[in-house]
Amino acid sequence: MRIEPDQMWGYFEWLVLNFGLLKGLLVAVALALLGFVICFLVSMARYGPGEGFYNVTRVIYELLARDLPGTSVRRIYALARLAFQEAIRRRVLVVMAIFIVGLLFAGWFLDPSSDHVARLYISFVMTGTSYLVLLLGLFLSCFSLPTDIKNKTIQTISTKPVRPTEIILGRVVGFSAVGTVLLLGMGILSYVFVVRGIVHSHAVDVVAEDGMSGTTTYDAQHEHTFQILSGDGEVLQGTTDEQKGHKHVVTMRKGADGKASYEIGPPEGLLGARIPIFGSLRFTDRAGKDGFGLNVGYESEYQKYIEGNSLMSAIWTFEDMRASRFPGDKLPLELSLKAFRTFKGDIVTGVQGQIILRHTNGRVESARVPFIVREFAVDNIEVDRKSRGSKDGVPTEIDIFDDLVDDQGRIEIVVRCTDPGQYLGMAQPDLYLRAGDSTFGWNLFKGFFGIWMQMVLIICLGVMFSTFLSGPVAMVATLTSLVLGFFGGIALSVATGDMPGGGPIESLIRMVLQTGAMVEMDLGNKSLETVIRLMDRGIMYTLVSMFQAIPSFGSFNTADFVAYGFNIFGSLVSRHLTMTVAYFILTSLVGYFFLKTREMAA
């Protein structure tokens, strides 16, 4: 799983320090000015400058002075109930039937021998739910209002004391209620499907002569070895080895006749929601001074690499370190590093590294903790709170929280590669402290809540477009916004000029001249080249503005968090909810003005 740096921001950090609020206000102001200018130009073409300006300002005045203050919650509820009943009459429950059929036949397509069965099942149910719910919201929201206007049934409502704000809000609330009911049912079925799909049991197959170790039976496409580790009296306990991402607790009971019976518990570790604490990452160069990580030639620069058997290191700094956050006598940390080999070496042992915990002043540090990189897996390492270390180079006994945490509550964790000629790759989220676990059910709920917010955004956009477009055209516009919201990152990189090759005009010229993107454009006329670049800059600025105004639907997808067992951050959910509310208000206002203008024209 790839956690982006912006996903680790706190709510206040995103809202203020990274200008989330400012960017939202700028987009809202820009859209308001653009809408005012376009409406004025259209009205001016119809009625002249003076009358056109009066008509536009009159609509704004009626919104602020009459429609908003006079909006009734009771009428919104009545219109929402009508929209709900309309959706039921359109047989939206077929979506639930399709989902159930998909679960029934999922066993034909999902591989139970997969190394990550839980991840496979969770990804399947959340992806399927997302597609079905988004399509449901798309069809419900885009065709309802245009159909009522075409059939003139809207006149039955408009002749009543109902305001345009109530028509817009009633439809958004009603369609969202339909989607919420269906999504709730899908969530419950998904939970049952995942839990039942991964539950399995083992029995003891082979026991060693001393009775303290053995092998389980082969069930669910795998088997375990186990070892009894501790216990008192007649009851001893141990664990199995890890297979397919899980373990089992093994309980041995000694009978009166001296014979032992074994009981193997349910799988542990398949469904989790670990709570990570992330730190900031920096690198040192081969001389041990502050520097940058290496690029070993991969196109993606998400992870940087450090060289083995050198002073290069990756240093994570963690804040707010308190003993109360980590009960027990160990500090749990987890790694998901990558290895880059310049030669095969010992392919059985793997690439080796070491971890050092140290004070921010560099004078006090723990003993080296060796590890072997587990590629494509999460490595759990528990560091003893009290262990051997050194102060100013003198070996001594240290305590992590008493000796290594500074007065500001910070500690540094250093990672180095010890194999010469090999490299370790890491990004900021690839090493974190594990501050406990949340429950899988609650994490799954937050994942489905992200799907719910995507659905609400689609409904808001569909209702907005349907106020001035026909049903099919509104669906195309909403679908275009959906696609750009999911894949707009690629288009945005082109629009901002991050990708080489220039803007659309320059790219077209390069295609005709068969010039590579990495070669400077040379037309033999500097003035012409300047004009082309200025025109491209204007086009790209317009595209950037459009992409910033469209919701980033991909950022609301937190299915990977649930599938890979990461607790979805509360700050991330709060950010998504804030953006959903903001787009709800924005699209409702835009839809109001279009509907009001449409009624005036009628």
Average pLDDT, the chain: 89
According to the model, what pLDDT value does residue 347 have? Answer: 66
Residue type, 10: G
Is the pLDDT confidence value at 473 over 70?
A: yes
pTM of the model: 0.90
According to the model, what pLDDT value does residue 5 have? Answer: 85
The DSSP code sequence of 60-95 is HHHIIIIIHHH--HHHHHHHHHHHHHHHHHTTTHHH
β 280-284/313-318 pair status: antiparallel
Q: Tell me what the mean pLDDT of segment 403-415 comes to.
A: 95
Q: Tell me what the mean pLDDT of segment 575-580 comes to.
A: 96
**Of the ranges 35-39, 195-199, 442-446, 554-558, the best mean pLDDT one:** 442-446
Q: What percent of the chain has pLDDT over 70?
A: 95
Is the pLDDT confidence value at 137 over 50?
A: yes
Cβ neighbours around 300 below 10 Å, total: 7
Q: How far apart are CA 372 and CA 381, in angstroms?
A: 11
According to the model, what pLDDT value does residue 497 have? Answer: 62
Q: Which residue has the tokens 């679908």?
A: 479
Q: How far apart are CA 221 and CA 214, in angstroms?
A: 18
Strand partners, 399: 386
Measured distance between the N- and C-terminal CA atoms of the chain, rounded to whole angstroms: 54
Q: Which residue has the tokens 């989607």?
A: 179
Closest by CA position to 239, among listed 271, 276, 202: 202
Q: What is the 3-state secondary structure (H, E, C) of 112-154?
A: CCCCCHHHHHHHHHHHHHHHHHHHHHHHHHHHHHHHHHHCCCH
Is the pLDDT confidence value at 492 over 70?
A: no
Question: CB–CB of 558/454 below 8 Å?
Answer: no
- Report the greatest alpha carbon distance in the chain: 104
According to the model, what pLDDT value does residue 110 have? Answer: 85
16-30, 182-196, 269-283: least confident range: 16-30
Question: CB–CB of 70/163 below 8 Å?
Answer: yes
Is the pLDDT confidence value at 547 over 90?
A: no
Q: How far apart are CA 564 and CA 270, in angstroms?
A: 9
According to the model, what pLDDT value does residue 595 have? Answer: 87
Closest by CA position to 67, among listed 144, 156, 168, 152: 168
Is the pLDDT confidence value at 600 over 60?
A: no
Q: What percent of the chain has pLDDT over 90?
A: 55
pLDDT band at 489 (very low <50, low <70, confident <90, very high): low
Is the pLDDT confidence value at 27 over 50?
A: yes
Is the pLDDT confidence value at 179 over 90?
A: yes
Is the pLDDT confidence value at 34 over 50?
A: yes
Is the pLDDT confidence value at 451 over 60?
A: yes
* pLDDT (tens digit per residue) in 293-304: 999 988 788 899
Q: How far apart are CA 571 and CA 18, in angstroms?
A: 14
* CA distances (Å), origin 393, targets 362, 363, 389: 10, 8, 9
**Going by C-beta distance under 8 Å and a sequence separation of 6 or more, which residues neighbour residue 176?**
455, 456, 459
**Going by C-beta distance under 8 Å and a sequence separation of 6 or more, which residues neighbour residue 142?**
462, 465, 466, 471, 474, 475, 478
Give, for 314, the enclosing helix (H) or strand (E): strand 313-318
pLDDT band at 76 (very low <50, low <70, confident <90, very high): very high
Rounded to the nearest 5 degrees, what angle is found at the Cα of 299, between the Cα atoms of 297 and 300? 110
**Going by C-beta distance under 8 Å and a sequence separation of 6 or more, which residues neighbour residue 107?**
none
Q: Tell me what the mean pLDDT of segment 170-174 comes to.
A: 95
pLDDT band at 375 (very low <50, low <70, confident <90, very high): confident
Question: CB–CB of 598/155 below 8 Å?
Answer: no
Strand partners, 305: 294, 425
Is the pLDDT confidence value at 160 over 80?
A: no
Residue type, 84: F
Q: Tell me what the mean pLDDT of segment 578-593 comes to.
A: 94
Is the pLDDT confidence value at 228 over 80?
A: yes
Is the pLDDT confidence value at 154 over 80?
A: no
Question: CB–CB of 398/386 below 8 Å?
Answer: yes
**Going by C-beta distance under 8 Å and a sequence separation of 6 or more, which residues neighbour residue 484?**
491, 546, 547, 550
Question: CB–CB of 126/563 below 8 Å?
Answer: yes
Domains and CATH numbers, the chain: 5-197+439-601 (no CATH), 204-264 (no CATH), 273-437 (2.60.120)
pLDDT band at 216 (very low <50, low <70, confident <90, very high): very high
Range list of H helices, 436-567: 440-466, 471-495, 504-513, 526-549, 559-563
* Helix%, strand%, coil% for the chain, nearest 5: 50, 20, 30
Question: CB–CB of 518/500 below 8 Å?
Answer: yes
Looking at residue 324, the DSSP 8-state letter turns out to be G
